[in-house]
Amino acid sequence: MTEYDYWKIFPRMPRKVTIGDITVRDGFQHIEKFISTRAKIFYAEEMIFAGCRNIEVTNLGNPYLMPQFRDAEEVLAHLKGERFRERCRKRGIDPDAVCITAVTIREAAVDRAVELRRKGIGPDRCLMMVSTEEEHHFANSGCTLPQYWKEAERATRKCRDAGMQMCGTVSTIWGSPIAGATELKDAVEFTRRWLSIGATDIEHADHDGSASAPEVYRYFSMILDALPDTRLHIAHFHETKRVAAASVLAALQAGITHFEATLGGMGGQPANFLDDCPVPGTGEYYYRDPRYVGLVCLEDLLVQIDEMGIAHGYDVDRVLWLGRQMERTVGHRLRSEAVVNGRTEKAGHPEFSRPGLKKLKEKLGESPGQKFPADWSATAVLPPGMGR
């Protein structure tokens, strides 16, 4: 007999997931106009009010390279301020249960995070990043891999000593936009290395949309066989081929419980142009067309997860509303289909029904809800040899 229970087919698949929002950092870093500090604070606040408990809000690296985040301290100060904390409590949200992350690719950025922590406005969690493919890693950090690992070890120790968590990101797991194919086993070893130097969790990143569903399932199965604590692992998928939803499903089937996404599916390589001026960013874009890159779309991901019956903790309708506002903020149409078409309505859309069906059924002598001719058998009788 065929098994129809999804969770019996994929026994590792979770009944509940955590979805982190990284719109204000990763989403905005690829936008070629400055997003106001007020807008950054608005979306960070509203995502927390809508149910987000893991949120990435800025990059503490050199603002000359990424001027989108020149307001990093102001954003952090607001989210760590008593006024915002009180607003959380009024909504029944424990502000201490919200983990605020800042990206700190280099040690100098971790030093900045430590100093902000001393001032009472530092992040709860920092994030550093390695690529298993060294050319991609050098493009992002300016370091060789051995050089960066030693820096990451020092920086992680500083971060933990200051009372902050450190997320270690592993990138180019499924391929590199510079050097091409990579080995999954390298990413498993890189994950072990991060944990060995003190990282608290690992972001497993598909930064250029190279992943395919079978390889995602294979990789995360390998990871959970080696390191079965699902709290350690975060799936981070980018979208360049419109297959990220399949990657999410494959990761769920493998047993992953923690994902990241952005409103509208924004994100990508740091912008090398802002407002009316070229900026360094991380150099030339890896992509043929930088308009068609980004992360898995939060609105669509939530609808997907919600309709699978998996708990997630978000107010989906509020997030869909935020997605519509975001299109006005950035000034163009984003990736989400759910913000346009909404969720699947269990009650349907009766306003689109055509008049006359009831009268026609009465005229034909059919009962309400009758789907087959009255003189047909109760169940279909198939020709011999054609199914059961």
Over 80: is that where the pLDDT of 280 sits?
Answer: yes
Measure the CA–CA gap between 5 and 249, rounded to whole angstroms. Answer: 16
Over 90: is that where the pLDDT of 288 sits?
Answer: no
Q: What percent of the chain has pLDDT over 90?
A: 87
SS3 202: strand
Q: Which pLDDT value is given to residue 207? A: 84
pLDDT, tens only, 18-70: 999 999 999 999 999 999 999 999 999 999 999 999 999 999 999 999 999 99
- Could you tell me which residues come within 8 angstroms of residue 368 by beta carbon, excluding any fewer than 6 positions away? 358, 361
Domain 6-341: which CATH class? alpha beta
CA-CA distances (angstroms) from residue 76 to 102, 120, 161, 325, 330? 9, 10, 20, 22, 22
Over 80: is that where the pLDDT of 290 sits?
Answer: no
Q: Which pLDDT value is given to residue 151? A: 98
Measure the CA–CA gap between 57 and 44, rounded to whole angstroms. Answer: 7
Give the β-pairing of 165-171 and 258-261: unpaired
Over 80: is that where the pLDDT of 352 sits?
Answer: yes
pLDDT band, residue 208 (cuts 50/70/90)? confident
Q: Which pLDDT value is given to residue 14? A: 97
- Could you tell me which residues come within 8 angstroms of residue 232 by beta carbon, excluding any fewer than 6 positions away? 195, 201, 202
How confident is the model over 137-152, as a mean pLDDT?
Answer: 95
Q: Which pLDDT value is given to residue 241? A: 86
The domain spans of the chain are 6-341
CB 88 within 8 A of CB 57: no
48 or 292, which is more confident: 48
* Residue 121: φ, ψ to 5°: -125, 15
* Residue 119: φ, ψ to 5°: -85, -5
Length of the chain: 388
pLDDT, tens only, 68-85: 999 999 999 999 999 999
Over 90: is that where the pLDDT of 218 sits?
Answer: yes
pLDDT, tens only, 227-265: 999 999 999 999 988 899 999 999 999 999 999 999 999
Measure the CA–CA gap between 159 and 5, rounded to whole angstroms. Answer: 44
Over 90: is that where the pLDDT of 1 sits?
Answer: no
- Cα-Cα-Cα-Cα dihedral sign, residues 88, 91, 96, 102: negative
pLDDT, tens only, 155-187: 999 999 999 999 999 999 999 989 999 999 999
Measure the CA–CA gap between 143 and 149, rounded to whole angstroms. Answer: 9
Q: Which is nearest to 59 in space by CA: 40, 82, 46?
A: 40
